[in-house]
Structure 1
Amino acid sequence: MNITEHQENIVQYCFPDNNSSCRKEVRTGPAYIFLYIVLSFISVCTVVLNLLVIISISHFKQLHTPTNLLILSLAVADLLVGLIVMPVNIMQLIDSCWYLGKLGCYIYPVINFLALSASLCSLIFIAVDRYIAVSDPLLYSTRISVCKMSVLITVGWSFSLLYVFMYLYFNDHFHQSHIRCYGECVLFIKYSWVIADLVLFFVPPCSIMLILYSIIFKIARHQAKAVRAVNIGGSKKREKLSKSSETKAAKTLGIVIFVYLTCWIPFYLSSLMDENVASMYLVWNIIMWLMYMNSSVNPLIYAIFYSWFRESVKCILNCRIFESSSSRFNLFQERF
């Protein structure tokens, strides 16, 4: 036996000084190193993008609108994913040991599920908000206010937190009776709760978003046709603008629905096939990271496509936000 084989056969422990320590499994090699670099880059991008959204909406008074409050709530939830959930997951990929202690093992799943649940709630609220704005634009300002939206966001986060505690409590997470050795943090979910989560926290959000965005798209098409009818005999430029607006709306709604379904369907399908997929460590982590990626793409969909976001990012990068009157900058440039 050569030296390399002998080193590989040496049993390593997470905490060598503790007799009840778990065995350590270190995942090295070029493929894993490349994977860690890519995932770390995704985590950093998620944090930066969502921080830009949070700073923009919080700093500029012109952006203090009900719709932007929802985008802010979404960005906060997605920031938690990029700042806490993703790095801890990367740490577990590198090393099978859990180094954050029992308290960390209690708290991490709470933050994980809370961020994902709050993100989904925000997506639903955004869909409802856009439906009200499109279906009844004249009465939107009287129905929806910043104060009402703040209360709704608080209720959404509170409901998400309550659901997460129920979900973890009834799966015996806070008892930790299933921990076999020191340095292990695992979460076992009962199959009945997998089904309940699918029925309560996937099918309704998916159905609501699909229905509302379908209605929004139909209304947008109807409005675009009305504009074209008014412009008969008018300038071709306006007709092209109405067509491009309709196309842009269709593309945006298509991206929203496609990303949501792409990121979440694999996770729930794999949960239903728990016994087969859970044993495939790499496949399960790819599915989990696909779900986390929704937090990376959300700011691209809901913020970067807006002109005010591009203007606010310019002010942030140019350090103009430190000017005394920067909070009152006009981010909506008139275009003729």
Structure 2
Amino acid sequence: MNITEYQQNTTIQYCFPDNNSSCRKEVRAGPASVVVFFFLSCVSVFTVFLNLLVIISISHFKQLHTPTNLLILSLSVADLLVGLFVMPVRIMDFIDSCWYLGKTLCALFPVIDYITVSASVGSLVLIAVDRYIAVNDPLLYSTRITVCKTSLFIIIAWSWAVFYNVILMYFNNHLLHSQISAGCYGECVLVMKYSWMIVDFVITFLVPCSVILVLYSVIFKVARRQAKAVRTVRNGATNKHGTKVSSSSETKAAKTLAIVIFLYLACWIPFTVGPLSVEDVISSSLVVNLVSWFMYINSSVNPLIYAIFYPWFKTSVMYIVTCRIFESSSSSFSVFPERL
């Protein structure tokens, strides 16, 4: 849609017609806006539904109470909050430029937004560390990584997300009513200082991204080495028959890691790199809202990567949709497929 069509489909009105200091609002109409609204709404529902399935599965079934699944649970809780609270508000902000939720929520919403996203990234880093230890030192994994230790690290990750983002909002003058700039009634604007944008870029993107890339690179190398060793043993055992051993495990590991890294970078680069080109970043700008959705969509694809491709997820979902989880002994049901 070009600029002329956009202007024709945009109707200038007032957020609060009965208030003389009301802001003007832009109501985006037209087929393109309807399609975008429908798509973003589906993304929000999709995010809530998938992450809720993961949370119920891991919380209910005892077999899934493992350190790795606790990290996936933490990730799903953060992503659920993004889909349940952050996305609907952003959809409203995209369709209607006015803020109807008052100054208190204007001060709290960016904090909730940044905390949930930071907690999601922190969980991704912890999952990468967990998988690194599991692959690099499998014999000692069960003694080094326990449910209690994992729970402690999850608490630390969420506490850090709360502490860091409260500090971030405080020093950008967006935490108290008196600090929020209001040019007119019905406006909620977050202006991020350029210096803090650099700090936030390093803390929330550069460092986690570097850790994830390095750990998954090591995991892939170890997986290749282990697959090569297994292939050598099998080749030696079947050499006299001339049987060719497939390297499917190595290929599967490569594809999985490639998907993890690609989707993480694809979802985060537009939001973190784009705003660095301006002096101040205003949260109400249409461009920032659009690139923010790349980051939010990461909360939709996370359960696809970390849970749906697990064999236990399909079984647990069947128990949930058939309401068998309401049976008295359902928490002890086996969710792992039996091997013949």
Q: Does 1:313 align with 2:317?
A: yes
Residue in structure 2 matching 1:291, options 288, 295, 298: 295
1:25-50, Cα deviation, whole Å (9 max, x unpaired): 21111110111000000100000000
Q: Is the 8 A contact 1:277 1:283 kept in 2?
A: no
Indicate the residue corresponding to 1:331 in structure 2. 335
Which runs of no fewer than 5 residues in structure 1 stay unpaired? 1-7
1:263-302 alignment to 2 at 5 Å? 263-274=267-278, 281-302=285-306
| CA deviation after TM superposition for structure 1 residue 282, in Å | 4.5
How many aligned positions are there? 328
1:89-108 alignment to 2 at 5 Å? 89-108=90-109
**1: CA distance between counterparts of 2:48 and 2:132?**
29
| CA deviation after TM superposition for structure 1 residue 233, in Å | 4.4
| CA deviation after TM superposition for structure 1 residue 10, in Å | 8.8
1:73-152 alignment to 2 at 5 Å? 73-152=74-153
Indicate the residue corresponding to 1:225 in structure 2. 228
| CA deviation after TM superposition for structure 1 residue 177, in Å | 4.1
1:199-236, Cα deviation, whole Å (9 max, x unpaired): 22211111111110000001001111111111124458
Secondary structure (helix, strand or coil) at the match of 2:97 reads coil
Indicate the residue corresponding to 1:246 in structure 2. 250
| CA deviation after TM superposition for structure 1 residue 53, in Å | 0.4
| CA deviation after TM superposition for structure 1 residue 182, in Å | 1.2
**2: CA distance between counterparts of 1:178 and 1:72?**
37
Which runs of no fewer than 5 residues in structure 2 stay unpaired? 1-8
| CA deviation after TM superposition for structure 1 residue 237, in Å | 8.3
Q: Is the 8 A contact 2:182 2:188 kept in 1?
A: yes
Indicate the residue corresponding to 1:3 in structure 2. none
**1: CA distance between counterparts of 2:217 and 2:103?**
46
Letter in 1 for 2:182: I
Letter in 1 for 2:193: K
Q: Is the 8 A contact 1:114 1:160 kept in 2?
A: yes
Q: Which has the higher strand share?
A: 2
1:2-24, Cα deviation, whole Å (9 max, x unpaired): xxxxxx99963211222222112
**1: CA distance between counterparts of 2:62 and 2:46?**
26
1:27-38 alignment to 2 at 5 Å? 27-38=28-39
**Please, what TM-score do these two structures have when normalized by structure 2?**
0.92
Pick closer, same or farther for the CA change 1:219–1:109 going to 2, 3 Å: same
Indicate the residue corresponding to 2:6 in structure 1. none
Q: Is the 8 A contact 2:190 2:282 kept in 1?
A: no
Letter in 2 for 1:40: S
Residue in structure 2 matching 1:201, options 187, 204, 207: 204
Letter in 1 for 2:216: Y
Pick closer, same or farther for the CA change 1:87–1:333 going to 2, 3 Å: same
Q: Does 1:67 align with 2:68?
A: yes
| CA deviation after TM superposition for structure 1 residue 136, in Å | 0.7
**1: CA distance between counterparts of 2:152 and 2:262?**
29
**Superposition CA RMSD, Å:** 2.2
**1: CA distance between counterparts of 2:232 and 2:135?**
19
**1: CA distance between counterparts of 2:209 and 2:11?**
49
Q: Is the 8 A contact 2:180 2:189 kept in 1?
A: no
1:36-94, Cα deviation, whole Å (9 max, x unpaired): 00000010000000000000000001000000000000000000110011100001111
Q: Does 1:58 align with 2:63?
A: no
Secondary structure (helix, strand or coil) at the match of 1:19 reads coil
Q: Is the 8 A contact 1:50 1:79 kept in 2?
A: yes
Indicate the residue corresponding to 1:4 in structure 2. none
**2: CA distance between counterparts of 1:154 and 1:32?**
40
- Aligned-residue sequence identity (percent) comes to 65
**2: CA distance between counterparts of 1:227 and 1:250?**
16
Q: Is the 8 A contact 1:78 1:119 kept in 2?
A: yes
Indicate the residue corresponding to 1:156 in structure 2. 157
**2: CA distance between counterparts of 1:182 and 1:17?**
11
1:154-183, Cα deviation, whole Å (9 max, x unpaired): 010000100000000000002434211111
| CA deviation after TM superposition for structure 1 residue 335, in Å | 2.9
**1: CA distance between counterparts of 2:226 and 2:117?**
35
**1: CA distance between counterparts of 2:41 and 2:180?**
32
